[in-house]
Amino acid sequence: MKQKNTAVRQSVQTAHMSKSRYNRVDGLRGVAISLMLFYHFCFDLNYFHWISVDFYHLPFWLNLRLFIVTMFLTLVGVSLVLANPIGGRWRAAMPRLVRLFGCAVLVSIGSFAVFPESMIFFGVLHFILVASAIGLLLLRGYWLNLIVGSVLILIGTNFQHVVFNHPTLQWLGMMTYKPITEDYVPLLPWMGVVMLGMFLARHPVGEQWLKASWQVHGALRSLTWAGKHSLLLYMLHQPVLLGLLWVISG
């Protein structure tokens, strides 16, 4: 009877851990969201010709985007591990995957309406959807995630071939040119970044730091709130920003 009660308590504790929030992770995701809002606000100002900025060639803007995407996708890997402490659970993950699929479709439709010549066919949400499904198969990996993730980054950043220029393969990466699209986050090298995030969440030092609590107050409270609602903010921020600027410009 005592063993049964112990098993029940452990089961309850495991379920509680899988549903709990980690405010350091939410805070870091909030930082990434804030930087993304800044980047897209400046991009929209440029779109309406209020400023003149070359987002596609200037090192500052290229590196800022690289930093933001790296932050987001590292945290995708971290969150996959923290949300699944006992391994991949497809039934539990399915509602989130369905939400991501719906949001990715909306992003493609919305981008086609605004930028028909450069619609988003495999942007960050499309990538997160695919990477999350793949990541559920890799949750028990540790050193394997570190090694394979590092190899995928090296391949994705150093190998290109014309075969990957075909429209049906462009989502994989390794193209010889960047496709004409407003947001492009291919499987390689970015799956490697997600896998490094998964390794970080399993590493004793990283796990201890990520699960420790911050004293959430002031600006940290706002960042943590933004991190908790990152998908909603991602979906709403551009329609709101573009709508406001359109109204002001009119």
pLDDT digits (tens, 9 = 90+) for 142-160: 999 999 999 999 999 999 9
Instruction: Please state, rounded to an integer, the average pLDDT across all residues of the chain.
Output: 87
**Res. 207 pLDDT band, cuts 50 70 90:** confident
Q: Please, which residues bridge with residue 184 across strands?
A: 122
Return d(Cα 18, Cα 206) in angstroms, integer: 18
pLDDT the model gives residue 228: 92
pLDDT the model gives residue 88: 64
**pLDDT surpassing 70 at residue 20:** no
The whole-number average pLDDT for the span 189-198 is: 97
Closest CA to 145 of 64, 212, 74, 84: 74
pLDDT digits (tens, 9 = 90+) for 131-141: 999 999 999 88
Range in 10-14, 51-55, 164-168, 245-249 the model is least confident about: 10-14
pLDDT the model gives residue 87: 63
**pLDDT surpassing 70 at residue 239:** yes
- Do 32 and 228 contact (CB within 8 A), yes or no? no
Percentage of the chain modeled with pLDDT above 90:
68
pLDDT digits (tens, 9 = 90+) for 210-219: 777 666 667 7
* Residue matched to tokens 């995030």: 197
pLDDT the model gives residue 86: 67
Q: Cα 213 to the chain's mean position, in Å? A: 22
Return d(Cα 224, Cα 214) in angstroms, integer: 10
In the structure encoding, which two tokens stand for residue 39, read together? 């980047």
pLDDT the model gives residue 84: 80
**pLDDT surpassing 60 at residue 6:** no
What is the total residue count of the chain? 250
Write the single-letter amino acid at 113: A
* Residue matched to tokens 């995708």: 76
Return d(Cα 132, Cα 178) in angstroms, integer: 24
pLDDT digits (tens, 9 = 90+) for 27-48: 999 999 999 999 999 999 999 9
Q: What are phi and psi of 129, to 5 degrees?
A: -60, -50
Is residue 8 packed enough to be buried (19+ CB in 10 Å), middle (13-18) or exposed (0-12)? exposed
The whole-number average pLDDT for the span 164-170 is: 95
Peptide bond into 189 cis (omega under 30): yes
Closest CA to 33 of 171, 227, 242, 240: 227
pLDDT the model gives residue 9: 44
